[in-house]
């Protein structure tokens, strides 16, 4: 039996259909739009750190599955 795969809507909000979460490059389009809206990457970091009540550690980041990885 063949499974009917339903397309997802791109997470950027463009309304495009995709197989995964993003159409190619649309994650970066959203990131750039957010940075521009708040005044740049430094200001975005300040806002996120304020909301999280902690500093963002550049030595350890979390991948999409919640596992930590070293840079």
Q: End-to-end alpha-carbon separation of the chain, Å?
A: 44
- The whole-chain average pLDDT of the chain stands at 86
- As a whole number of angstroms, the distance between CA 47 and CA 18 comes to 30
pLDDT for residue 15: 95
pLDDT for residue 7: 86
**Residue 53 in this model has a pLDDT that exceeds 90:** yes
């Amino acid at each position: 039996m063949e499974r009917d795969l339903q397309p997802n809507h791109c997470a950027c909000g463009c309304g495009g259909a995709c197989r995964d979460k993003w159409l190619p490059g649309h994650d970066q389009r959203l990131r750039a739009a957010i940075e521009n809206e708040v005044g740049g990457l430094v200001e975005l970091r300040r806002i996120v750190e304020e909301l999280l009540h902690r500093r963002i550690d550049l030595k350890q980041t979390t991948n999409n599955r919640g596992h930590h990885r070293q840079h």
